[in-house]
Amino acid sequence: MGNKIAVLGAGTMGPGIATTYALQGYEVSLYSRSQSTLERAARVVASNMELFVEEGQLDIAAADAAKGRIRYTDSVEDAVEDAWYIAETVVEKIPVKTELYALLDRILPENVIIASNTSSLNIFSIMPERRKSHTVIAHFFAPAHILPLVEVVRGPETAEDVMAQAIALHQQCGKTPVRMERYIPGFIVNRMQGALTREVVHLLENGYCSPEDLDLAVKTSLMPRGMLLGLVERMDFAGLDMMVNGLTNKSYQPAPDPGEPKMFFDAVARGDLGAKTGKGLFDYSHLSYEELLQQRDRMLMQSVALAKAFMEHPLHKTEA
Ligand SMILES: NC(=O)c1ccc[n+]([C@@H]2O[C@H](COP(=O)([O-])OP(=O)(O)OC[C@H]3O[C@@H](n4cnc5c(N)ncnc54)[C@H](O)[C@@H]3O)[C@@H](O)[C@H]2O)c1
């Protein structure tokens, strides 16, 4: 491991990822094509650090030092110079990632690790051949500076040492890396979320309950219990005989394909895109977008602290 990391892409995810590495003491270069994106990214990084200071997780001197470790550049060549690890987080489009990987292949020494933050693409199939042993997916969750999970996914030719280094890096940064031995679209969490989203759309679109009551139901049951038991340990507490009964009786039938649910398509046509426009399925117009994100992030930090405490004391026996 060296001391310099390049984060390529400074949109929604790049600033949070750069914040994470800089806080751990790495020199980070954050690349984006345009100066305006880089300027916005610098403001987001500053506000991330401010939040940690306000919440008592960082002192001002450490926040200033971490901010000073991030350098902003509009040149890929400049960004990757001397970097041992590249966090690629450009837009989720195959042609864009393909072109970037071809450029990286031309300019990087062979032992540099390329880690993509893709949410769903099989980037292993578009990576130039000789880079495949040094490629992983390291998938963060938004907001990346707050949520601990990083799904670290192995490609068919990824070297074990590269997996180990990617995992060690994120452990060192206080994240919770989770290993996936091979690629599947959506990895773990977006597959869970995708299955749940289908049910949410089905229940709302067909008027089984209101959006308020749906959220109330899960926030007072599934979610708090899930923070403690997850989804697998939960099965042990329900009883595997109950699970077997349920599976045998086919008592649960998944919701049908939602097609083009009117409720969602109409909202988008009206311009009600959610928090970012002040209105989606709920109304947020009492706060600016920035205030809303700040409030969300403060509260998220509290629930992450609780989740971490639960992780440290699992109910089942562990090897340690
Ligand atoms: N947004 C999320 O919540 C989220 C969560 C986890 C992972 N991801 C993944 O992270 C990656 C980045 O997502 P994002 O939401 O931050 O993206 P984004 O659309 O906000 O932009 C990312 C960056 O890509 C750059 N970009 C756009 N077109 C480009 C081009 N033609 N050439 C070079 N750079 C270009 C932009 O300038 C920007 O710096 C994607 O792979 C996405 O799947 C996103």
**Numbered ranges of CATH 1.10.1040.10 in the chain:** 190-312
Most informative mutation of 38, 90, 99, 146 for ligand 1 (most atoms within 8 A of CB): 90
Averaged pLDDT for residues 134-158? 98
Nearest-atom number in ligand 1 for the CA of 8 is 39
Measured from the Cβ of residue 167, the count of other Cβ atoms closer than 10 Å reads 18
Task: Give, using CA atoms, the residue closest to atom 3 of ligand 1.
Answer: 142
Q: Say if residue 194's pLDDT is above 90.
A: yes
**Numbered ranges of CATH 3.40.50.720 in the chain:** 4-180
Question: What is the average pLDDT value for the chain, to the nearest integer?
Answer: 96
CA distance 198 to 187: 17
pTM for the whole thing?
0.95
Is any atom of ligand 1 closer than 6 Å to the C-beta of 90? yes
Q: Tell me if 80 sits within 8 A of 104, measured CB to CB.
A: yes
Averaged pLDDT for residues 23-35? 98
More confident residue, 314 or 115: 115
| 241 Cα to the center of ligand 1, angstroms | 45
Is any atom of ligand 1 closer than 6 Å to the C-beta of 72? no
pLDDT at res. 92: 96
3.40.50.2020, 3.40.50.920, 1.10.10.10, 1.10.1040.10: CATH of 190-312: 1.10.1040.10
Q: Say if residue 88's pLDDT is above 80.
A: yes
Q: Say if residue 94's pLDDT is above 70.
A: yes
Q: Say if residue 320's pLDDT is above 70.
A: no
CA distance 149 to 160: 20
pLDDT band at 251 (very low <50, low <70, confident <90, very high): confident
Averaged pLDDT for residues 95-101? 98
Determine whether domain 4-180 maps to CATH 3.40.50.720.
yes
pLDDT tens digit sequence for 30-72: 999 999 999 999 999 999 999 999 999 999 999 999 999 999 9
pLDDT at res. 312: 87
Q: Say if residue 229's pLDDT is above 90.
A: yes
